[in-house]
């Protein structure tokens, strides 16, 4: 589904990703862990097409297509979804309008007519249930005045609406209390299917108690320094990253 080969990316003169190699297959859950500043968020932003970063070399194929040649919206239409670490507040754009516009753009790309108002409301209600989101959120400005937990739930709600093939969740657990964490993780698990995949970027093992990964990668200074099964996350939790760095 996703193949990253020797990916290098910079911001200004500073190289942040220094040769990433990663393969994600349908049905898999990958976790990317690593200390602060290792490049985790940069990797997710580069995959979603953020223009702040420049890809200097390497390639990314998504379902056989050159992902790096596509605009962020084109990536979204093809099934890439980025759950933001810090979801953006957009006063004046309601959640309903935002999602309706997004969904209809997806439908346009699939050759489908715009969704009817009734169908949309029904769909929205269903998907809001997945993350136990109150219906009143739909008429509010996107993320405006939402608590940290509500913002993250809104991210998973958007993911549920757009049904991506590959969801990249950037520190979805940061700033969440235990209840919110459970709701968010349950939402992600409910959306899991054999034909889609999830990449979870996290600092802590905690989230991985709920979203169990098939593969765990450790990112350090812009490179993946270790890849193993889910037990690696537990080991990191107990021993930190130092032993891995020393192994280098």
- The pair phi, psi for residue 245, each rounded to 5°, is -65, -40
From candidates 101, 126, 139, 147, binder to other proteins by CB under 8 A = 101
Of 9-17, 55-63, 66-74, 240-248: span binding other proteins (CB under 8 A):
66-74
117 versus 212: smaller Cβ distance to other proteins: 117
Residues 157-196, interacting with other proteins (CB under 8 A): 158, 162
102 binds other proteins (CB under 8 A): yes
6 binds other proteins (CB under 8 A): no
From candidates 26, 27, 35, 72, binder to other proteins by CB under 8 A = 72
Of 12-20, 105-113, 194-202, 239-247: span binding other proteins (CB under 8 A):
105-113
98 binds other proteins (CB under 8 A): yes
* Cα 92 from Cα 86, distance rounded (Å): 19
51 binds other proteins (CB under 8 A): yes
The DSSP line for 21-78 is EEEE-TT-EEEEE--TTSSHHHHHHHHHT-TTSEEEEEEEEETTEEGGGS-HHHHHHT
DSSP state of 79: T
Say if residue 18 is exposed, middle or buried (CB neighbours under 10 Å; 0-12, 13-18, 19+). Answer: middle
90 versus 121: smaller Cβ distance to other proteins: 90
In terms of DSSP H, where are the helices of the chain? 40-48, 72-77, 95-109, 117-130, 148-162, 178-190, 206-210, 231-239, 242-247
Size of residue set near other proteins by CB under 8 A = 32
106 binds other proteins (CB under 8 A): yes
- Which residues are 168's β-sheet partners? 82, 199
Residue 53 Cβ vs other proteins, minimum distance, rounded to whole Å: 11
∠ at Cα 25 (24, 30), nearest 5°?
A: 45
- CA count, 13 A, side-chain hemisphere, 186: 13
Residue 49 Cβ vs other proteins, minimum distance, rounded to whole Å: 7
Residues forming contacts to other proteins in the complex (CB under 8 A) are 48-52, 71-73, 75-77, 81-82, 84, 87-88, 90-93, 97-99, 101-103, 105-106, 109, 141, 158, 162
């Amino acid at each position: 589904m996703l193949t990253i080969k020797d990916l290098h990316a910079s911001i200004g003169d500073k190289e942040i990703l220094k040769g990433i190699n990663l393969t994600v297959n349908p049905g898999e859950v990958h976790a990317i862990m690593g200390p602060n500043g290792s490049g985790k968020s940069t990797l997710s932003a580069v995959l979603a097409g953020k223009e702040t970063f420049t890809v200097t070399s390497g390639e990314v194929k998504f379902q056989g297509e050159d992902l790096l040649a596509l605009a962020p919206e084109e990536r979204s239409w093809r099934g890439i979804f980025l759950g933001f670490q810090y979801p953006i507040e957009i006063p004046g754009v309601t959640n309903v309008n935002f999602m309706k516009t997004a969904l209809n753009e997806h439908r346009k790309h699939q050759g489908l007519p715009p969704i009817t108002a009734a169908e949309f409301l029904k769909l929205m209600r269903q998907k809001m249930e997945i993350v136990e989101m109150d219906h009143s959120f739909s008429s509010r400005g996107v993320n405006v005045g939402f608590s940290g937990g509500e913002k993250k739930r809104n991210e998973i709600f958007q993911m549920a609406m757009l049904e991506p093939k590959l969801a990249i969740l950037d520190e979805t657990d940061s700033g969440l209390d235990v209840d919110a964490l459970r709701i968010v993780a349950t939402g992600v698990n409910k959306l899991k299917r054999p034909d889609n995949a999830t990449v979870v970027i996290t600092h802590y093992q905690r989230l991985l108690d709920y979203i169990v990964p098939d593969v765990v990668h450790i990112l350090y200074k812009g490179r993946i320094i270790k890849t193993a099964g889910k037990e690696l996350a537990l080991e990191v939790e107990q021993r930190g990253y130092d032993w891995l760095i020393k192994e280098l």
